[in-house]
Amino acid sequence: MTNTLKRPEVLAPAGTLEKLKVAIHYGADAVYIGGNAYGLRSRAGNFSYEEMEEGVAFAKERGAKVYVAANMVTHEGDAKGSGEFFRTLRDIGISAVIVSDPALIEICITEAPGLPVHLSTQSSATNFETLEFWKNEGLERVVLGREVSMDEVAKIRQNTDIEIEAFIHGAMCISYSGRCTLSNHMSHRDANRGGCSQSCRWKYDLFDMPFGEERRSLTDTGEVSEPFSMSAVDMSMIEHIPDLVKNGVDSLKIEGRMKSIHYVSTVSNVYKKAVDSYISDPENYECKQEWIDELWKVAQRELATGFYYHTPTDEEQLFGKRRKIPVYKFIGEVLDYDEATKIATIRQRNHFRLDDQIEFYGPGFTHFEQDIKEMWNEDGESIEKAPNAMMIVKMPVEQPVKPGDMIRKQK
């Protein structure tokens, strides 16, 4: 059988310029970032225009794309200056903007012609008629709502040819995508204008509050228990790449612009490997356990498939004791490697010491483990531990490594 499957784009989050470079280095075909306005991650390391220029240049040299999320819901006055903002992004070379508000979409199309627009998941696009509407408005791609099932993805693709982007890994929203106002009520921070306080992740309880008396929990039985929560587990579709590809998803989106470089590098690496493996030989493809295990080496919540195969139950909520916990932590990155001496120069990111067993990993899913037998500080002095953040350490390594390789160890 001739392989006619279209390879989907692996799209990674990039909260900072460093994360942008790491994501692309570890296999992402594209990244999405935030600008200094109109986005939904006010606490992420949003990009200045100068950083965007550097990021776009880095991406283009490696055949990758950079998208900018401008997906806030605008109130009166919020859209001021957006025309100039979009024109600047176009001139910098941004590949597309991800927008949800019709006003911002109209401003971008009319005032920054030539800059492609993608519909954000915040618009909750969940049927092909909606996708056709936005296609007729001039959009090139729609990011589906995270509430769409795999059967609905198939039907959407059968009835429209606009590009489809779908989330495959990361946090799930407890509400319909883009429709939550819980944060507004609980902390006076507007979730749809960049201020979400993730009130759904808080712990709640039910109380009796008689007048003039102290409140009393109605659920406290004297045993150790977990307060109520509305918090959903995270999504992971690593075991279902064939379904996504065969149903015509053009871009596989990883959530997490506020995640670490450890997370971004690991998750990008895994999905790049899985996609390439499937596209190269779909008939003999299998999801390898080592890919699943790799995803569990980064900090995250428990994992499930969201709405793709069934309506989530209490098994997809974070109630009670965690069933699985990541056991690795990120400790450093390789800056340089001397082939003659087999000594690596490392920037410390978390505490490590002599005799620790560590794991090196790099792009292309390369891994090896070793014990730390010797190490020196930047002045060449022998040391027993590396306790200081960002300190430079040298150590012998048992296999060749490259700048940009990462190091982790079990907690």
List, in order, residues 6 or more apart from 404 with CB less than 8 Å away.
Answer: 22, 25, 333, 334, 362, 363
Q: Are 235 and 303 in contact (CB under 8 A)?
A: yes
Question: Is CATH 3.20.20.70 correct for 9-176+232-316?
Answer: yes
pLDDT confidence of residue 44:
54
Residue type, 113: P
List, in order, residues 6 or more apart from 353 with CB less than 8 Å away.
Answer: 372, 384, 385, 386
Closest CA to 371 of 400, 396, 338, 336: 396
List, in order, residues 6 or more apart from 346 with CB less than 8 Å away.
Answer: 332, 333, 334, 335, 392, 393, 394, 395, 407
Cβ-count burial 95-129 (b if 16+ within 10 Å, e if not): bbbbbbbeebbebbbeebeebbbbbbbbbbbbbbe
CA distance 99 to 72: 7
The greatest distance separating any two alpha carbons of the chain, rounded to the nearest whole angstrom, comes to 78
pLDDT confidence of residue 2:
41
CA distance 196 to 179: 12
Phi, psi of 373 (to 5 degrees): -100, -30
Kindly give the confidence (pLDDT) of every residue in the chain, 411 residues in length, as a single tens digit, with 9 standing for 90 and above: 344 789 999 999 999 999 999 999 999 999 999 988 787 655 556 899 999 999 999 999 999 999 999 988 888 998 999 999 999 999 999 999 999 999 999 999 999 999 999 999 999 999 999 999 999 999 999 999 999 999 999 999 999 999 999 999 999 888 877 778 888 888 888 777 777 788 888 888 888 888 888 888 887 766 656 667 788 899 999 999 999 999 999 999 999 998 999 999 999 999 999 999 999 999 999 999 999 999 999 988 899 999 999 999 888 888 766 667 778 999 999 999 999 999 999 999 999 999 999 999 999 999 999 999 999 999 999 999 999 999 999 999 999 999 999 999 998
State in Å, rounded, how far the first CA of the chain is from the last one.
47
Collapsing DSSP to helix, strand or coil, 137 comes out as coil
Residue 67 bridge partners (DSSP): 32, 96
Distances (CA, A) of 212 to 151, 205, 207, 208, 218: 55, 20, 14, 12, 17
Fold of the domain built from segment(s) 328-410: Elongation Factor Tu (Ef-tu); domain 3 (2.40.30)
Q: Tokens representing 56?
A: 């776009």
Tell me the DSSP string of 161-186: -SEEEEEEEE---SSSTT---HHHHH
Closest CA to 297 of 324, 274, 316, 323: 324
CA distance 71 to 114: 19
pLDDT confidence of residue 375:
98
Domain ranges of the chain: 9-176+232-316, 182-229, 328-410
pLDDT confidence of residue 1:
35
E-only strand ranges, 187-342: 203-204, 207-208, 216-217, 228-229, 234-236, 251-254, 303-304, 328-338
Q: Are 66 and 94 in contact (CB under 8 A)?
A: yes
User: Where does 26-137 have alpha helices with state H?
Assistant: 49-61, 82-92, 102-111, 128-136
CA distance 352 to 390: 12
Reported pTM:
0.91
Q: Tokens representing 323?
A: 């069933």
Edge-to-edge order in the sheet of strand 392-396: 366-371, 357-362, 406-410, 328-338, 343-348, 392-396, 376-377
DSSP 15: S
Distances (CA, A) of 301 to 12, 177, 298, 321: 18, 19, 10, 12
